Amino acid sequence: MPSLKQLSSEKDLFTYGHRACAGCAASIILRQVALVAGKNTIFVGATGCMEVVSTIFPYTAWKVPFLHNAFENSAATGSGIETTYRSLKKRGKITKKINVIAFGGDGGTYDIGFQSLSGAMERRHDMLYLCYNNEAYMNTGIQRSSATPFGAHTTTSPAGTVIPGKQQFPKDLTEAIAAHDIPYVAQAAPHNWADFTKKVEKALTIEGPTFINVLSPCPLGWVYPPHLSIKMSKLAAETCFWPLYEVENGIHKINFKPREKKPLIEWTKLQGRFRHLLSESNKHIVEEAQKEVDRKWNRLLKMAEAKI
């Protein structure tokens, strides 16, 4: 794992001047990924916040090749690049090692890009897929996605007298991709940069498809002041809403176990999208959400213990 001192001597390949909101965690994530991946990397971005803010014509924040295709096919585009690279290598036209990193937001990964991602993983392309999960369609104005947590207010699951926010639990994409039996699947968060950069480094050295799902707190959509982005990420891990773990060759390993598991409300009460959950009448929603978090965490603990 590179230390901060080693990393700081590297040049930023995702540079300033991009137009992400102040305090955007997704730009921290991409910066950290680009630092670790190095200059022999090709990035592919699905339509979404990070594509829109980083490549507004005629400006680009990338100092490495970046390709945007469409919303649903960043994994397919990545697999095309990887296949071309393999072919060129076979014919001796290229000798150096090149990393292919495809990324997308939760909309472009959980929902719209799911089939192309599933296909790329099944075809065993040697690439890393990175999902920065901000838990809704933030770029288009905060619509619910299948990653939006239970009880969260979005413009298409508005909290009011009829419903108290989103009515469904989020899809567990990390496990869904792990079910593809690929060599490496991980879940990470930007506050733990050491764990995250280590996972990216590991994913890039492993041959075959790898997938990392990163939580990306969003000041705009989660409704909190921008300076709390890293705190939000930290609390999500400490409440076990977003456990940091990896699945290597089918074996679960938890990378961070909080000393004291905090109640979910510690995390939700700081966010405007859960504001309605603070009222007495919505107490059952909080309890239900807590129960689901506990269930998943206990399941994960058991899996890690049994080494499955």
Partner 1 sequence: MKKGWKELPIGTQIIKPGSSEDFKTGDWRIEKPIIDFDKCIHCLICWIYCPDSSIYVNDNKVTGINYDFCKGCAICAEECPKDAITMQSEVESE
Residues that bind partner 1 (CB under 8 A): 4-5, 7-9, 12, 14-25, 27-28, 31-32, 54-64, 190, 193, 219, 226-231
For partner 1, give the closer residue by CB, 227 or 299. 227
> Closest distance between partner 1 and the C-beta of residue 10, in Å?
10
The closest of 103, 102, 105 to 49, measured between CA atoms, is: 105
Alpha carbon distance 221, 236 (integer Å): 16
Q: Is the Cβ–Cβ distance between 98 and 182 less than 8 Å?
A: no
Q: Could you count the other beta carbons within 10 Å of the beta carbon of residue 253?
A: 12
**Nearer to partner 1 by C-beta: 14 or 103?**
14
Nearer to partner 1, 12 or 294 (CB): 12
| C-beta of 63 vs 284, nearer to partner 1 | 63
Q: Which residue has the tokens 């100092």?
A: 63
The nearer residue to partner 1, 138 or 286, going by C-beta atoms, is 138
Q: To the nearest whole angstrom, how small is the minimum distance from the Cβ of residue 23 to partner 1?
A: 4
Nearest to 245 by CA among 302, 167, 291: 302
- CB of residue 251 to partner 1, shortest distance in Å: 29
CB nearer to partner 1: pick between 30 and 121: 30
Which residue spans within 198-263 are E strands per DSSP? 210-215, 245-248, 251-254
Q: Which is nearer to partner 1, 157 or 229 (CB)?
A: 229
Cβ at position 77, least distance to partner 1 in Å: 14
Q: How far is CA 245 from the centre of its chain?
A: 13
Q: Report the nearest approach of partner 1 to the CB of residue 245 (Å).
A: 22
The pair of three-digit structure tokens given for residue 150, joined into one six-digit string: 């239970």
Least Å from the CB of residue 270 to partner 1:
13
Choose between 157 and 216: whose C-beta lies nearer to partner 1.
Answer: 216
Backbone angles phi, psi at 247, to 5 degrees: -120, 105
- Quote the least distance from Cβ 5 to partner 1, whole Å: 5
How far, CA to CA in Å, does 267 sit from each of 80, 207, 217, 228, 254?
A: 40, 37, 12, 11, 21
With beta carbons less than 8 A apart as the criterion, state whether 127 and 177 touch: no
- Tell me the Ramachandran region of residue 63: left when phi exceeds 0, alpha when psi lies from -120 to 50, beta otherwise: alpha
CB of residue 1 vs partner 1: minimum separation in angstroms?
Answer: 13
| Cα 289 from chain centroid (whole Å) | 21
C-beta separation of 55 from 62 below 8 A: yes
